[in-house]
Amino acid sequence: MLILRWLLLPFTILYTLIIWVRNQCYDLGIFQSKSFPVNTIVIGNLAVGGAGKSPLVQLLVNRLQQRYKLATLSRGYGRKTKGFRMVELSDTVESVGDEPLQFKKNHPEITVAVDENRAEGIEILQKDHDLILLDDAFQHRKVKPTCSILLFDYNSIINPIILLPTGNFRDTFDQTKRADIILITKCPPIVRQKNKDRIAQKIRRHNSKASIYYSEISYLPIKPLSSTISVDNLSDYSVLLITGIANPAPLKEYLNSSRISFQHISYPDHHDFHAKDYKKMVSTYEEISNEKKLILTTEKDSQRLDITQLNNIPVYYIPIETHIIEEDSFLKQLEEKLNH
């Protein structure tokens, strides 16, 4: 697979050129970015998925919803509808996408909306809100936000930056210059100072002003999706892990460090599960000899799994949280940008 990706290097060069020209057109004013009177926060990354945008959106909702009339606006990746749509608890993944549906279920009190054209979505939402969080919109340059928060997965930024399809980056690293705040996510418990220096040096080549913060993820107790079994100690169980996310490595590392025995069936990010997928899940589950066994998935994947296809197998999902190391400073700087 790695060799194949390097064989695609000519396409990477062409893709890089296209992205560079597009960014130049915005930087030179040939293409216009629009500002709005309502406060907007863009949360995004340069790589493809897996940086922890959704947990950060949920953290910001928790911290800011008491002070602002807040809405989240996403593209609604994978949905089969078009245009602007308010997300309701009765919606499905097919109508609004998995992450917006997750936001709504976790925060039914706030407005959650989807629109592939973020500028048009803001036009609608700004009438009734004073803060809009735009999930995964760093590349949506039609919008000039009040504040841009750029995320980098810790492992991605310490390694070479290579664009698609050879690498995993969808935008050139020089676009770091547009960020107001940079958050390094999914960090190990201890980040050595020499690695912090390397990261800072890499970023400062393009952005001398943005503050750099570090964050960790933590996994919360599992929750039942379809089960009446009380699981006191997951390490007593054999687990069939089902993921359709960009980067399942941190979850696998967590299960390994917790000494939890598991088999893993991995699907692409936002995977639309089909009958053959459920058949494979059921057959793999039935082959596990331990009587104490269950299926475990991520919270995002739980929005897409059809548990009626799983023959009454106990299914649980594991919520995730992000913890910003210097959260008070992070939030203070964010408030200053919003009140500027």
Element containing residue 73 per DSSP (H, E): strand 70-74
Whole-number pLDDT of residue 200: 98
Whole-number pLDDT of residue 44: 97
Whole-number pLDDT of residue 228: 78
Architecture of domain 2-216+323-338: 3-Layer(aba) Sandwich (3.40)
Q: Are 295 and 222 in contact (CB under 8 A)?
A: no
Which residues does residue 114 pair with via DSSP β-bridges, in sequence order?
Answer: 74, 85
The rounded distance, in Å, linking the Cα atoms of 83 and 250 is 34
What is each CA distance from 4 to 9, 161, 312, in whole angstroms? Answer: 9, 18, 40
The answer to whether the Cα torsion of 249, 251, 253, 255 is positive or negative is negative
pLDDT tens for 248-303 read 999 999 999 999 999 999 999 999 999 999 999 999 999 999 999 999 999 999 99
Whole-number pLDDT of residue 1: 62
What is the domain class of 221-318 according to CATH?
A: alpha beta
Domain boundaries, the chain: 2-216+323-338, 221-318
Q: Which tokens is 45 given?
A: 């990354």
Q: Which tokens is 166 given?
A: 């050879």
Q: What is the DSSP string of 295-323?
A: EEEEHHHHTT--GGGSTT--EEEE-EEEE
From the list 252, 221, 244, 254, the residue with the least C-alpha distance to 298 is 244
The pLDDT averaged over each successive group of 10 residues in the chain (340 residues) is 84 97 97 97 93 96 97 96 98 97 97 97 97 97 98 93 94 98 96 96 97 97 89 94 95 96 96 97 97 97 96 95 97 94
